[in-house]
Amino acid sequence: MGTDLGAQLAAAFDAAVAADERVEPRDWMPDEYRASLVRQMAQHAHSEIIGMQPEANWITRAPSLRRKAILMAKVQDEAGHGLYLYSAAETLGTSRDELLDKLHSGKQKYSSIFNYPTLTWADVGAIGWLVDGAAITNQVPICRCSYGPYARAMVRICKEESFHQRQGFELLMALSKGTEEQHAMAQDAVDRWWWPSLMMFGPPDDESAHSAQSMAWRIKRHSNDELRRRFVDIAVPQAEALGLTLPDPDIKWNEESGHHDFGAIDWAEFWDVLKGNGPCNEERLTRRRTAHEEGAWVRDAAAAYAEKQASKASTESEARV
């Protein structure tokens, strides 16, 4: 009987996903589907908040007030995206506190890209153009993800991200067309961020542990390699428009495939950064933990205050009765 019901629920779930219907928080879903979504959404949320660090690194040094305002707004948006995504993940029965604990203890990951340092102002532009560009390529298909709350969060996030990407492009354009030193600064940033951006799409399809299942569940719509190729096709003409080169001599148009061929990615570096050995892994996580620990007394105060207010309110309502 129980098995029959379980099988019926699973069949109904599979049919709904196959029909492109949205799964909502109260719907039955396989445990593995739930776990897989929590993992992906948490990692996504963590990436937004760790991703604030490399850019916030330049807020106090932005070279004009206009650029400073744009950068502040962007970092603020990222905190907001983190909030959406934690809320969306909470609909699956976890909590922000629990997820943050897992981030702080290294049990959950964030995007490997944020383990690279922002060494010059041009890096802010390269992040906007390349990193946000790669993120958008990855994330637009998630707007049609089978899990409703995730899909809806992504619709809002993608709108803001594409705005950031245009601003990053425009920042690099100003540098590229500026003085010789500014142009060199822009080229250097693109040279350093290009390959890490390609790594954002994840391991090659034959080495991607979660891909097949995620695609069957329609959490994911396209393979890592497919999205990576799409991104290269978009980035090549944009680099030309910027008057900057991409650090890959093997990029060339392939008439037959209708796509750009490109050079081999250094997967050893990718796995190394993922394991925690990138240039900034240690520093990013330490800073996040420190902010959290040093903010504990503030959160405690807010909780104590809320408790006092609640007990005051209940005493008052009792008195009225």
Partner 1 sequence: MILSHRLGEWAGDAPVLEEEVALANIALDLLGQARVLLSMAGDEDELAFLRDERSFRNLQLVEQPNGDFAHTIARQLYFSFHQHELYTVLAAGDGPFAPLAAKAVKETAYHRDHAEQWTLRLGDGTEESRARMLTALTALWRYTGEMFRPIDGLDGVDWQALEQRWLAAVGAVLERAGLTLPEGRRTGAWAAGAGREGLHTESFGRMLAEMQHLHRSHPGASW
Helical H runs in 252-295?
Answer: 267-272, 281-294
Q: Does 316 bind partner 1 (CB under 8 A)?
A: no
Q: In the window 140-179, what residues touch partner 1 (CB under 8 A)?
A: 171, 174-175, 178-179
Strands (DSSP E) contained in 233-280 are 252-254, 259-261
Residue 81 CB, nearest distance to partner 1 (Å)? 10
Q: Does 2 bind partner 1 (CB under 8 A)?
A: no
Q: Does 84 bind partner 1 (CB under 8 A)?
A: no
Residue 80 CB, nearest distance to partner 1 (Å)? 6
The span of 79-87, 221-229, 233-241, 244-252 binding partner 1 (CB under 8 A) equals: 79-87
Contacts with partner 1 by CB under 8 A: the residue count is 50
Q: How buried is 87 (Cβ within 10 angstroms: 0-12 exposed, 13-18 middle, 19+ buried)?
A: middle
Neighbours of 159 (CB within 10 A): 10
Q: Does 257 bind partner 1 (CB under 8 A)?
A: no
Q: Does 86 bind partner 1 (CB under 8 A)?
A: yes
Q: Which residues contact 145 (CB under 8 A, 6 or more apart)?
A: 151, 154, 218, 219, 220, 221
Pick from 86, 116, 293: which is nearest to 191 by CA?
116
Decide whether 181 or 316 has the Cβ nearer to partner 1. 181
Out of 18, 79, 155, 212, point to the residue binding partner 1 (CB under 8 A): 79
Decide whether 72 or 136 has the Cβ nearer to partner 1. 72
SS3 state of residue 133: helix
CB 176 within 8 A of CB 244: yes
Q: Which residues contact 29 (CB under 8 A, 6 or more apart)?
A: 13, 23
Q: Does 61 bind partner 1 (CB under 8 A)?
A: yes
Q: Across the strands, what pairs with 252?
A: 261
Residue 10 CB, nearest distance to partner 1 (Å)? 36
Q: Is the dihedral of CA 108, 85, 151, 129 positive or negative?
A: negative
Q: Does 59 bind partner 1 (CB under 8 A)?
A: yes
Residue 146 is classified by DSSP as S
Q: Does 249 bind partner 1 (CB under 8 A)?
A: no
d(CA 124, CA 114): 12
The span of 55-63, 202-210, 222-230, 257-265 binding partner 1 (CB under 8 A) equals: 55-63
Residue 303 CB, nearest distance to partner 1 (Å)? 8
Site residues (CB under 8 A) for partner 1? 49, 52-53, 56, 59-69, 72-73, 75-76, 79-80, 82-83, 86, 96, 121, 171, 174-175, 178-179, 181-182, 287, 290-292, 294-305, 308
